[in-house]
Amino acid sequence: MIANTPKPPYYAVIFTTLRNDIDDGYGEMAKQMLELAKKQPGFLGEESVREELGITVSYWESLEAIKNWKQNAEHLQAQQLGKARWYKKYKLRVARVERDAEF
């Protein structure tokens, strides 16, 4: 589903991952993190695809909202589990969205 974002500017956090072969609760944790993110002030939406390469883009009102999400205790625990269990490699990018268009 394509996220319904407001008129720019806003921010995008782009989380790109390469998973290992261990599932061990990954799907459930991903669902929990999305539900938790939805409750965070400043969260605007997300889009995610997962094949061999996973890409999740979450949208935020401000850099402060992103910082608060990064420091959320449950999210910190999920980050640690990701590094220890589920990811071979990941990259995180934060970008300011200046323009968007849709059809």
Q: pLDDT tens-digit profile of 25-84?
A: 888 998 999 999 999 999 999 999 988 899 999 999 999 999 999 999 999 999 998 898
DSSP 12-78: EEEEEEEE-S--TTHHHHHHHHHHHHHTSTTEEEEEEEESSEEEEEEEES-HHHHHHHHT-HHHHHH
**Domain assignments of the chain as residue spans, ordered by start:** 10-97
Q: What's the whole-number mean pLDDT along residues 91-98? A: 98
Q: What's the whole-number mean pLDDT along residues 7-24? A: 92
pTM as predicted: 0.90
Domain 10-97 is found in CATH 3.40.50.720:
no
Q: pLDDT tens-digit profile of 67-92?
A: 999 999 999 999 998 898 899 999 99
